[in-house]
Structure 1
């Protein structure tokens, strides 16, 4: 509601008498008298009319002030709502961006955790496999050690028997008084050569017959091959048992 300016009204006259009004109040004679001025004063409007217009103007001013305040409040509320909506949209975009980045990082971390778990599982399987293989080789080493001890015992028994046989032959030769010294010495040398040849035949390789047997075959535990023939052998030449391992024996 706007302010309405007061319109021209014949009843609305100023409080003072203007020179023009006084001039019109005088007749054509051109003279102004006290009576004429009094008559002109009697024709001026009362003061109450101007007070009514002031009241109307004050009401219009108050209404205008209320309208302006209302418009300001409405505009302020509208601006506040728009600012709140803009802030809300901005916060939503920021949250969406942060959530998107967070989701991406979480997915990357999940993939990395999955990869590390798979790697740990593979490493655990490898460790278990190596542990089982270590246990197997320990068992093989124990078995080979037992076989070597048994072989040493057998060889010691064979050597003891051979020495006993030599002692018996020497005792028999000493009892023979009819043989001469030279013949006795020759006979002893022949016996020693015979015993040495028998021992060599017992210890030579069963495959090439040229080198000393120095490899123990498993699982039959026969000392029957040399170091050169053992790698190419598939089965034991003594018992034809399939070979699944071998142990080198040092007679030093």
Structure 2
């Protein structure tokens, strides 16, 4: 745009005005300078009104173009600053969220490790209890076998005892003379049951106490 303004002034044969800078504090009062304004006024007196109006229009167009360029630059700079600030805010928010996610992930990882350790401990305890149960089961089976054997031995001992007692009774009830038949005759007066019916007539004394037989009584065992 500055090139276009220079071209306009050169075509009209006018001296170039001093253009305002882009520094802060630029205003309409600084354009054009006092010397250029006097030169333009002196030239305007000698030129027709249409030419003066054309010059003023071109000067105004150049000024507006420069002003628009400055405004666009300022707006572009402000927009870039706003975009930069917004980008910083977004980056800060994203960093905060990323940090939170990393902390959550670390807590979840620690929790998973704790659960895995607890699960391993439970598995070890389960195996220990299982081994203990197997040992107790084996002990119980061994005790059961011993108990059965003890019962069998007790029955055998009881039967043996009964047999011995029966044998003792049979031996005590056997005839002391022939020792084969059961005693069924009671001698008097000693009252020993010590003879069978067949041997009793042959005995004159008791075969147990050797006392003289004065009489005998036949006994019927139920």
Corresponding residue of 1:38? none
Corresponding residue of 1:5? 31
- 1:73-222 alignment to 2 at 5 Å? 73-173=76-176, 180-185=187-192
Q: Distance in 2 between matches of 1:94 and 1:45?
A: 72
Q: Any stretches of 5+ residues in structure 1 without a counterpart?
A: 16-42, 192-252
Count how many residue pairs are aligned between Structure 1 and Structure 2. Answer: 162
**When the two structures are superposed, what TM-score results if normalisation uses the length of structure 1?**
0.53
Query: Is residue 51 from structure 1 mapped to residue 54 from structure 2 by the alignment?
Result: yes
Runs of 4+ in 1 over 4 A off after TM superposition: 174-179
Q: Distance in 2 between matches of 1:51 and 1:133?
A: 119
Aligned-residue CA RMSD in angstroms?
3.3
Q: Distance in 1 between matches of 2:55 and 2:121?
A: 97
Q: Any stretches of 5+ residues in structure 2 without a counterpart?
A: 1-21, 196-207, 209-222
**When the two structures are superposed, what TM-score results if normalisation uses the length of structure 2?**
0.59
- 1:9-28 alignment to 2 at 5 Å? 9=38, 11-12=40-41
Q: Distance in 2 between matches of 1:129 and 1:95?
A: 50
Q: Distance in 1 between matches of 2:184 and 2:77?
A: 153
Name the SS for the 2:38 alignment partner: coil
